[in-house]
Amino acid sequence: MKILLLTQVLPYPLDSGPKIKTGNVLKYLAQQHDVTLVSFVRGNQSAEVRHLEQVCSAVHTVPIERNKIRDAWYMGLSFLSNQPFLMIRDDRGEMRRLVDRLAAETVFDVVHADQHNMGQYARRVKNARKVLDAHNALWILFKRLADTMPMGPKKILLNRDWRLLKKYEGKLCREFDHIIAVSQEDRVALEEAARQPLEDTLIIPIAIDTDEVAFVEREPEANHILHIGTMYWPPNIDGILWFIREVYPYIRAEYPNLTFDVVGSRPPQEILDYNGQDGINVTGYVEDPTPYYEQTGMMVIPLRAGGGMRVKILNALSQGLPMVSTTLGAEGIVIESGKNILIADEPKAFAEATLKLLKDRQFADELGRNGRKLAQEVYDYRVACQALDKIYG
C-alpha cells in the first residue's frame, strides 16, 4: 500500500514518548508498505531526515517555530474562532500546500494522521482511507490537569481548553475511517467526545523495541530515586512538585543522604528552585541517561493528570527497572502491583512503596525481571503493532 504518514514531530531520534510511539509504528509499516513521511521540523534536523530516508520512500518536512509572541497570537485567534489553541497553533499554510501537492502527484491508499494536530491535514487528501492515530484523548488529559489546579486563571483557561478539545476531537473522530487508541480508557473518552460508538477503533498500545531498549545492569548499591521525562509537559511538572512537596519528605526522613535525580529537558523555574536542596538533582536534558539508570534504586511516576500511556513506564519495564507509580500514571498498561510494579496514590503510601524498594533489593530485582518479561511479551513493536494489519493487511 501507499501510505502518507503525517507527523507533528519528526519520529527520530527516539528520545521522547511521542517519537517512540510514532517511530515504532513507522518501523512496522515501512517493513511491508510504501511510506511517504511528512513532518514538521524544528531547527536543523537534516541528519535525522537522512536517517528516516533509509526507512521511508520519501521524507518531506516543514519548519515550525514557536515562541511566546506567536503563542499569544494563536491564543487570540482561538478566542475569536472558539477553536482549540493547540489546533490553531499547528495550522500552517506551508503544510497545507505541501500535503495538497503530494496528494495531487500521488494516489495514496491511506493517509495516517499521527496525533490530532495532523488530522486537519489528512482531511485534505481525497479518495484515501483516513486513519487517526490518537496518542491521547486530549480533552480528558486537559480536564484532569484542570481538576488538580486551584481556582485561578490557569484553571479557567484549561477548563475552556478541554471543552473545546472535546468538541473538536469528537468531530474529528466521526470524520475518520479508522481510529487508533492506545488504551480502552482512551477509546471510551474518544467515544464520549464523538457521542457515538467508534466501531472502527483499534486499541494498539504504544510499542517499544525491546532489542534497542535493553536490560540495565544496576549497580550493587544503586540507591538513587529517578524520574525521567520531558519537564515542560504540565502533567510531569505537577507530578514532580507533588512528589517533592508531599512524598519526598517521608523518604528523606529515613534516608537523609538520598539523591533524587530529575532528568528531562526544559524544567521550569519552579522545579529548578529545588535543585541542590535535600539531595534533589535537576539535570535538564541528558543525551545518555544510562548512568542514572544504573544508579537508581527505582523510578517514580507520580502523575496525577494525563492520559494515554506513559512510554517511560514501558521503557523502564524493558530495562528491568523497579518502579512506583500512581494508578493514573500506569493507566492503560497491563501491569500488576506487587508483581512488576508498585502502585500507590496517597503521599504516605507512595513513600512507603518507594522505601520498600530501597530496603529490599531482592524484591526490587524481581519486579524488574518480571517487568522485562512483560515488555517482551506484550509491548514489543513486533507483537503490539500486528493489530495494524487489520487496517493495512
Q: In the chain, what are the domain boundaries?
A: 2-208+381-392, 224-379
Average model confidence (pLDDT) for the chain?
A: 94
pLDDT reported for residue 307: 62
pTM of the model: 0.84
Q: What band does 312 get if pLDDT is binned at 50, 70 and 90?
A: confident
Single-letter code of the amino acid located at 149: M
Would you say residue 308 has pLDDT above 70?
Answer: no
Domains 2-208+381-392 and 224-379 share a fold: yes
pLDDT reported for residue 52: 97
For 86-105, write each residue's pLDDT tens digit: 999 999 999 999 999 999 99
For 332-354, write each residue's pLDDT tens digit: 899 999 999 999 999 999 999 99
For 40-57, write each residue's pLDDT tens digit: 999 999 999 999 999 999
For 186-243, write each residue's pLDDT tens digit: 999 999 999 999 988 999 999 999 999 999 999 998 999 999 988 988 889 999 999 9
- CATH superfamily of domain region 224-379: Glycogen Phosphorylase B; (3.40.50.2000)
Q: Mean per-residue pLDDT for 263-280?
A: 96
pLDDT reported for residue 230: 86
Q: What band does 306 get if pLDDT is binned at 50, 70 and 90?
A: low
Does the 2-208+381-392 domain belong in CATH 3.40.50.2000? yes
